[in-house]
Structure 1
Amino acid sequence: MPKYVCEHDYTRESFSQQLPPANMVPPPLPDHSFAVYVSGNTGVPPSLDFYETHLLHRPRSERFRTIHADSPPSFDATGDFMNLSRLYEDALLAGPERPCLIVDEDVLTYRQLHKTTLANARALQCLGVCPGDRVAFHMGNRLDIAPLCFGCFYIGAVAAPLRCCDTAPELARAISDCGAKILVIGKEQLHTLPAVREQSSGLEQCFVIGGDPAGKVPSWEEQTLGGACDPPPPHVSADNDPAVVIDSPTGADVPNSATHSAHSLACRARDYAATLKLAGDTRFLTAATLCHGAHLAGLLLPIALCGGAVICSRNQEPHAMHWLMRRWRPTYANLPPGLLRAMLDAPGFDPALYAGLTALYVDGDKIPPDLDSDYAAKTGGQLRKAADMSKCGG
């Protein structure tokens, strides 16, 4: 397996086959240098912008890192430098070209995730977003959701994802309730924007991902390409600093949002990764819409922590799920019982698609009593009750 040593003091970059002894004491590092040791089947390490942005802003004691590609994630949710964008740090170092998020045929690697996270963080900073400010986003499954979310974490802003199935009054109430001044919306949801703007209080700026045919709403892609602001240093979060606002469906006029801290989300991600035994080769298929705080916290964060990939679709139909299984060969899946039933009964059902699943979790409380036996008869596997995959803890 290739092993690399990367030492950088702004004048040199070197790679070596020699790793330090296991008991090596971290070397004394000047103000503008760091040392990173990467071992395992990693491929080529990330470019130096990762090390510069993630390591040089830390205390000197944290600038000496040893990363093992096949070891469990080492993210410390109680460290002196707490930032949720660090969840994918070991994954990026160990396998920068591994997929992080797959939406149909579109793939976002960890290297691309990091690059676009910094671009989103810079764009938010240029708009005057400060730590603690709320940023709402409303879109279907698309690659943009991950870097936008991590971009919020990077600068200490609070991500406020909104459910795609909400009506305009429900969206307006959720935006007003969380206090968001910025909304990033997918082009497929643009039809709700006029009513949302009219009915929400405090919303100041709106951007669209994917383009506005009428040309009236500014493009978020153009905003992230702007270079007026330098990339900010990662925000250092306290344990109780808010990170995600999750809105629950209780009607358009009833506020019911919950704010979750960076510390609680980090601990939850670490617990999920350990409980489900997630690893760098994990490919987790979900029928969920990721633009929801619970799904981001309960699925995307633990998968990013372990270096695996989330697989989802813009189309939650049986044929779309089977296409994803055939194309990407997931190792885990989390599906609602109604969709799983339709998949089992679909024309041309192929049990071989399910053979590679380590576990298939069924989400929801209303699981038909015969679903487990039917699944076993058709695939030879056993269903598991979803371990709160759609919840994110306190």
Structure 2
Amino acid sequence: MEVIVAGGGVSGAATAIALRRIGSDVTLYETHPDAAGQVGSFLSLASNGLRGLKTLGCLDQVQEAGFAVPTQRMWSGTGRLLAEVPRGRLSGDPLHSTTLMRGSLVEVLRECAEQAGVRIVTGRRLAGTEPAGDGIRAQFADGSSARADLLIGADGLWSATRSVLDPGAPRPAYGGLYSVSGIAAGVPAETGTFNMVFARSGAFLHIPAPDGTVWWSAQVADPRPPKLTDVGEDRWLDRLAELYRFEPQPLEIIRATTQLHRPTLMHTLAEVPVRHDERIVLVGDAAHPVGAGQGASMAIEDAVVLARALAKADSTGEGLAEYDRLRRARIGKMAEAARINRDAKTRGPLARRLRDLVMPIAFGHFYEKATTWLYTHDLGTLPAPAEQPRPAER
């Protein structure tokens, strides 16, 4: 089967690898002319996402590109420890959450894709499609086109494929939070721990890296989306220092910042009713931006489940329908968890006080039971391909 993957991020690269593992002929088209490089902030992969990478044969490479974070701590804005739990896993699971820069993860996955025989073409943005016999023709913004049996939309939150598949599909909406992230130096911190501070202005996340720096992200609650352009680094840091002036941990890290990443608005997306037809399917954020630290892990799960469904089906349409059936309930449950997580960062003063009272009890007694469905999900294995991987071409 010939497959076009639109989008070369985490979702697109992982899906391309998965389909090569079952013997498909895969070409990945990425909008940007160059590889991702060190762009964007950091992300974490939970145990469910790491098991998906193991199925794809990329786990070791990803772990080497990042660092393990076994523990997560939640703090009140005043610095009181609210809860301590395993990070992205159940207790006793030896597969520890891995944190790395998003660009590093994309680079590793693209390298794995090329080694598996995926052809990667950069500088091509999907603009439309048209039928092509028993297949589909993808039309790109530069006027070129390509034919395949299947088009996979892995082109993110602002997916062009989603609009091609369903012109009436929901559009992303501002979710009441924006994110500013960076790297600080010279701040004493305990490695191996992901810290989340529930502050007055939203959540503040920080992780000590092995090199002694601290990676951080401020998720600021604001009902109106701020203008992100024409604001220099110093002004952003001054703004954050003012917003977090009552919280000692975040303030110390903000003042020690040596590198700032581009601020971004955080969006939500209503449930996408149409995620596939007979020749097009959506994966990753194009289908379901979940957040709550599970975006990359869920995209990797999508890749494995889609490849398994297609390998077992008698037809492409049957495989896509089975993939959608297998993913919809789990993604819906994850989206609800993400909504609760997001709401916890935008609460008023009374709700914040109640949260700080309830959280130690809830996490102490119910964390394992509440997250077993998420972290122990069995993706299965991929069937052996009928052909050997061909050399990658650019």
Fold in common (TM above 0.5): no
| Structure with a larger share of its residues in strand | 2
More relative contact order, 1 or 2 (CA 8 Å, 6+ apart) = 2
TM-score w.r.t. structure 2 length?
A: 0.22
